[in-house]
Amino acid sequence: MAYLNLMLRYKSDFIVEYNERSSSRSPTLKRGDIDWSQSRIIIFPSEFTKYQENAIGFKDFAIELWEVHKYSDDLLIFNEVKSPEIIKESIRTIAKSNPDAQKVSEEIRVYTEEDHLNGVDDNVKELYSELKSAILTLGNGIEMRPKKHYIAFRRKQGL
């Protein structure tokens, strides 16, 4: 929560840093150019703390943990660490008692499949269900990742 809170508190510093580091051919960013609601923290630690491992157990918390393995010839392998829990609690349950956590949970949004299907015509829901089933039968390790404007399907690496 501290990482996200820092980022949201210092948005302008992130924009300045981006603008200073980007090439002259890249467009300059302005505050209104960024949708901060889709921000997430991605951590690549050498080893995980219990706090980090517990943080990914929430269903709507925008944090990811990744293991990085370096092999010969500078080959890098990235593996996302997933929570072993199937039923995940909402971060909003603990955010009520923590002002920083409440601010982050109000500004950052993790979308669900239900968010996209609420209020949608039944025919569209049926078509989506058929398409989703067809995609998921393409092989093992395909996961669904709802985003703000769409639902992404991706195949996990190594499968």
Average pLDDT, the chain: 82
Among residues 1, 41, 8, which one has the least CA distance to residue 107? Answer: 8
Rg (CA), the chain: 18
C-alpha–C-alpha distance, residues 9 and 100, integer Å: 10
Q: Is 116 helix (H, G, I), strand (E, B) or coil?
A: helix
Strands lying side by side in the sheet with 63-70: 41-43, 63-70, 76-81
Q: In this structure, what token pair is assigned to residue 121?
A: 């015509």
C-alpha–C-alpha distance, residues 20 and 45, integer Å: 26
Q: What is the mean pLDDT of residues 63-73?
A: 85
Residue 4 clears pLDDT 60, i.e. is over it: yes
Please indicate whether residue 15 or residue 84 has the higher confidence score (pLDDT): 15
Place of tokens 């500004």: 107
* pLDDT tens sequence across 15-65: 998 899 887 788 888 888 888 888 888 888 777 777 777 777 776 777 788
Q: What pLDDT score does 157 carry?
A: 63
Q: What pLDDT score does 94 carry?
A: 67
